[in-house]
Amino acid sequence: MEKLLLKLCVLVLLHLLQRTDSHYKVDYLLGLPGRLPFHLEIRYVGIGKDEEVQLFYYFLQSESNPITDPLLIWLSGGPDCSFVIAIVNEIVKKFSCPGPLRFVEQVYNGSMPSFVLNPHAWTKIASVIFLDQPVNTGFSYATNSAAYKYTNVQACEYVYEFLRKWLSDHPQFISNPFYISGNSFAGMIVPVIAQYISNGNAAGKEPLINLQGYLLGNPAAFLGEFNYRIPFSLGMGLIPDELYKSLEKNYYPHNYTITVHNVIPYHANLSIKGYRSLIYSGDHDLMVPFQSTQVWIKSLNYSIEDDWRPWNLHNQVAGYTRSYYNKMTYATVKGGGHTACTDKPEECFVMFKRWISHDSL
């Protein structure tokens, strides 16, 4: 079933490519009657000396006030997860968050899928660039075989170059507050990209990017966090005490030498430079358990500004949060899994809206 849905998503995206004009703007979408009620733009941007890397993006302007609203770039996890794969996941999870559309769930009858507007889209209050990265992800490709070989660091360099080119082509957004966002494995690259931007701004590389901070959902940060899956499974009642005790004796944790596999120092350096950050975890995530995220945040030794407390929605507890004097906010999302944004779209939208508006959760 998911393979079929994936094919449908690809057909929709191919339709987008066929309907774009010289300005890459899409006005109509199969499955949604009438003209799109938001600004959608898609395009390739060439990266590298000879533009041998072609990164594909789609851009959605804020439905509120794009002139002043924040600008985000959203990076999927994986690595190598395209937004097409994300769309399939959103179909299963009912909502397409943070994007503006959701699929109508119905028995497949051979026709194209149909859409309705997502009431909890982050694009209601922010402009968002969705990027297929690294190269060979989704619709992004390279013009020669050598360009398909890259490191995580090179992938971050490509994103930084992409952003500078994109802003040069869209100068009206240069002054907007800019944030980097993503989930899962994006936690390993977003802090590195933020560091590239910070260093580039300090070196005077134009256009200067108005980086204000970053936000990460269920983020990977260091290899050792996989070790927290077993105690999390015990705490959730997924395994019995006897199995847990057996695993304690026979489980061999990851013991890699931490070098580029650890982005915690990047978080520390970015906070010193005054950038804001929102780190959130679905409290039912087994892939990157919230315990591991709390451990690496605690290792930063930040002073607590607002200690552990519930944050609410509709007079109900939506999760728990703690904020630090270094402008970092941590929050859990009650009932959220590895993609908390799709499991709890309204809660995550409200959390995002409060944080991006500089309000307390």
Catalytic residues: 184, 285, 338
Among candidates 260, 322, 261, which has minimal Cα distance to 297? 322
**Tokens matching residue 318:** 């939506």
**Tokens matching residue 340:** 């908390």
* SS3 category, 179: strand
What are residue 304's DSSP bridge partners?
324
For the chain, helix (H) and strand (E) counts, in that order, are 10, 14
Q: Which residue bears the tokens 């507007």? A: 117
Sign of CA dihedral 219, 222, 228, 230: positive
Instruction: Give the separation between CA 320 and CA 298, rounded to whole angstroms.
Output: 16
SS (H, E, C) 215-262: EEECCCCEHHHHHHHHHHHHHCCCCCHHHHHHHHHHCCCCCCCCCCCE
